[in-house]
Amino acid sequence: MAETLRLMAVHAHPDDESSKGAATMARYVADGVEVLVVTCTGGERGDILNPAMDRPEVLANLPAVRQAEMEAAREILGVRQEWLGFVDSGLPEGDPLPPLPEGCFALVPLEEATGPLVEQIRKFRPHVILTYDENGGYPHPDHIKTYEISAAAFDAAGDPDRYPEAGEPWQPLKMYYFVTFHRERFEAMHDILLAHGKESPYLDWLAERSPRGEGPRWPVTTRVPCGDFFEVRDAALIAHATQIDPNGFWFACPPDLQREAWPTEDYHLARSLVDTELPEDDLFAGIREKVGT
């Protein structure tokens, strides 16, 4: 009997799973793939970014509110979800930057922080892991730490001498970085809005990013067609009501125009233990043949 394919996405905070790779996950769920989101922290030190939710009772109960938002998004996407239980580090601001708060995720020693993720990998047995690059996608200390434990756990999970208390060894076969917020994608959405006589909010964003023609930090190796699931992604984003303004930047380009301009979510293949030919359009390229799907 063919083995069920399994995909794990490792994220720093609740809402990250809906802004990076959500349509991909929904597409694979529809294809019968088992998908697990691992959320490293509870987002306890996040700001309220939606003015409609900036209320004292929400701020006073922010951890519980964000857990409820995560559950709603999880159900919309059709995925499973597990918390690693680390405490949000917050995003330090100022010059000089203030020290990180004691006990936060970013300050947990790497060996200690990696153990719970190794346990989740061995329990779920994913063939593919999605995570951030070494810069975290952007330099938030929790995103950088998420990369560090993902890279370490990819190697440790298959080693019977590492974390023997964490379950039977399991070796994932591929690890990808999200390549979500790259200039080429936003230029395409900017251009299609103008072509349809609509106002584009992306000009200032593009002006602050890398020059035209300069590629993303990591080259895109894999473009997953998932335009049919953009509405699912948007619904999951809106479920994170403290973080996402439904009238904001995220929804400036309607899904039908996004499908026309950029119908994929994009990734960089960082590690592979199977043979695959680049570029890819499937995260499981090279794995389907190996497991007999």
Picking from 167, 154, 122, 142, the residue whose alpha carbon sits closest to that of residue 40 is: 142
Q: What gap in Å lies between CA 151 and CA 148, rounded to an integer?
A: 5
Measured at the CA of 138, the angle between CA 123 and CA 222, to 5 degrees, comes to 60
Q: Which tokens is 32 given?
A: 């019968």
143 is in an annotated binding site: yes
* Residues 53/99, Cβ–Cβ less than 8 Å: no
Q: Which tokens is 244 given?
A: 């996402």
Whole-angstrom CA distances from 203 to 119, 188, 199, 207, 215 are 44, 12, 10, 6, 18
16 is in an annotated binding site: yes
Q: Which tokens is 30 given?
A: 């529809």
Annotated binding site: 13, 16, 143
Annotated binding site for Zn(2+): 13, 16, 143
